[in-house]
Structure 1
Amino acid sequence: MALRTFAPGVEIFPVAGETVLRTPSGEFLRVNRELGDDPDRMDPETLGAFEARGLVTAPGPSRWPGPVTVVGDGAIAAALRGLLDRMGAEVIHADDLRPSALDPDLSPADCAAVVWCCDGHPPEAWATLDTLLTRRGIAWQRCSVEGATIVIEPVALGPDDVTHADVRARRLAASESPEHLLAYWTASGEDRRRGPSPIGPAQAAFVAALLAADLADQVGGADGAGRRAAAGARRLRLVDSVELTVTDHPILPLPPVEPRRSA
């Protein structure tokens, strides 16, 4: 069994008597024609150069450190459950999750991650779960819908990571009309009128793929211990449900506010 393989997206082909390697990003590199198909047979210097550029990887079975609870009764949650199951995760189905019902001894071995998918606005419980889950080391991923926009929040692995409260605070700080945005978020269901849901089968599958990829990148690791992808740790993703396009926004820390001094 090979210990290493070429990274996904790497291709090697002949051109006019030479051997060329195309990187996953589209760069073309001339390489030794005797390179072969097995990176394990490379000389140490060549192998080191390939590893440094991310062209060689050591594959392993995808393992999750524990079950993944997917909360929600909508189309996105259903699509995500099916996808995670095919990715080898043990998926727990929950239509709702009350913070008061959480087992005080719950650990990542019992539940590696909680993913709450709302086909509408998020419940108030998210603010409480920010603390209850992250202080236990349980990954916390969230997805909601605002109009025709699907909001995918960063995965929080610990109390120092970006939580739902952090996302909302940063979005309010960046909004041109924070009072309207806050009212939009906090309006009760009785006071809210809306058209048909923008979430169809295509939208649900598209968003589920983004959620699953982020979760696997942040939580699932070949060694079972998980890994942290810095690029996605503070990334808010806004999905246009009409065009099926994604816009990434960094969630920057809010600057400290000094207390006012009385005159």
Structure 2
Amino acid sequence: MSRSRLVPGADVVAVPGRGLAVRTPEGEFLSVRTADADQDALLSLLTGATAPPRDERLARLVRAFEEAGYLGEEPRTAPWPAARRDVRVLGDPVLTEPLAGQLTALGARPLTAPAAPGGARLTVEDLLDGGPAAVVWCLDGPVPDGLWDAADRLPGHGVAWLRCHREGWQAYVEPVAAAPGDVTSAHVRSRRLAATPAHRELAAYWTGPRTSGASVRLTPPAVTLLTALLADDLTRWATDAPAVSGLPARRRLRQVDLRSLTITEHPVLPVPEVAPMPRKDR
């Protein structure tokens, strides 16, 4: 078994005149009070270079690092589970082809296909054909009304559902929906309409027709960023990796400004079903 060492992202630095400080994975600096303990011996222990200390002062400091979460066993990358390896990738090739390459490198087995062969709408049976563990749908444009209705039913069949689309210079990476009750594309649309005073205009933009100028072309850096976000979300779902920071993946809508590649996270919750209006007896 490998010796414990500083977790990735944690560093210890010697500050002139102030002793040691730890830079946490979150980017904060914390002072380390070593008292009269041997600092060089402590640094050797924190890198896993020496055996556990016999000196109680050093042992106490090492335990403090462990309890704070800055010390652990050497991390191992979790492999992509075989049961979740098959991923159906639908949509526009400008996004699906690089995404498939990233997923393959991570251990998945992507199957790419057009969004809707022959212009027909896909049914949930079409999407479930072949038994994929997950379905990803990428659009280089707004989502036509009803296009994702069938896919929103995938979590109820035990299939993870992830999607992204572009609206002008803004792209949206929607939450992973992996179980009944997770956020669907219909929920995202409802929440976005409820959050803007321009809900009529947004609804009209979605339904079209739209008069546009020169088309927006996704740059290679923008494509890489969008597909990396999708691949990372899928990997974390497949390997059950814990959340690192920020909003939970199943409750997070990310907006990407394609001009500056700035990512903004928004919390999003499922929309509860509305109870039917009671009938009045006459």
Q: State the TM-score, normalizing by the size of structure 1.
A: 0.80
Whether contact under 8 Å (1:234, 1:251) holds in the other structure is yes
Q: Deviations over 1:134-160 (max 9, x none)?
A: 012222111000111001101111111
Aligned residue number for residue 69 of structure 2: 54
RMSD of the TM alignment (CA)? 3.0
**Which segment is superposed worse, 115-124 or 25-34?**
25-34
**Could you say which structure has the greater relative contact order, defined with CA pairs below 8 angstroms and 6 or more residues apart?**
1
In structure 2, relative to structure 1, the CA distance for the partners of 1:40 and 1:84 (3 Å cut) is farther
Which has the higher mean CA deviation after the structures are superposed, 238-247 or 32-41?
32-41
Q: CA deviation at 1:248?
A: 1.0
2:186 to 165, 182, 189: 165
Task: Give the aligned partner of residue 127 of structure 1.
Answer: 149
Residue 220, structure 1, aligned to residue 204, structure 2: no
Corresponding position: 1:28 with 2:46 = no
The answer as to 2:176 corresponding to 1:155 is yes
Q: Which runs of 5+ in 1 are unaligned?
A: none
Aligned residue among 179, 185, 196 for 2:215: 196
- The reply to whether residue 64 of structure 1 matches residue 80 of structure 2 is yes
Change (3 A) 1:253 1:158: closer
Deviation at 1:5, TM superposition (A): 4.5
Matched-pair contact (CA < 8 Å) for 1:151–1:237: yes
Alpha-carbon distance change, 144 to 42 in structure 1, aligned in 2, over 3 angstroms:
farther
Deviation at 1:85, TM superposition (A): 2.4
Match in the other structure for 1:38: 48
Measured in 2, the distance between the counterparts of 1:254 and 1:39 equals 53
Q: Are 1:142 and 2:170 matched, yes or no?
A: no
TM-score relative to the length of structure 2: 0.75
Task: Give the AA of the match of 1:231.
Answer: P
Q: 8 Å contact 1:71–1:77 — kept in the other structure?
A: yes
State the distance in 2 between where 1:39 and 1:31 align.
Answer: 21
1:174 aligns with 2:195: yes
**What is the CA–CA distance in structure 1 between the aligned matches of 2:257 and 2:28, rounded to whole Å?**
30
Q: Secondary structure of 1:171's match?
A: helix
**2:269 partner SS:** coil
Percent identity of the aligned residues? 38
Alpha-carbon distance in 2 for matches of 1:158, 1:239: 25
- Whether 1:75 aligns to 2:91 is no
Match of 1:15 in 2: 15
Which secondary structure state, in structure 1, belongs to the residue aligned with residue 238 of structure 2?
A: coil
* Structure 2 alignment gaps of length 5 or more: 54-58, 117-121
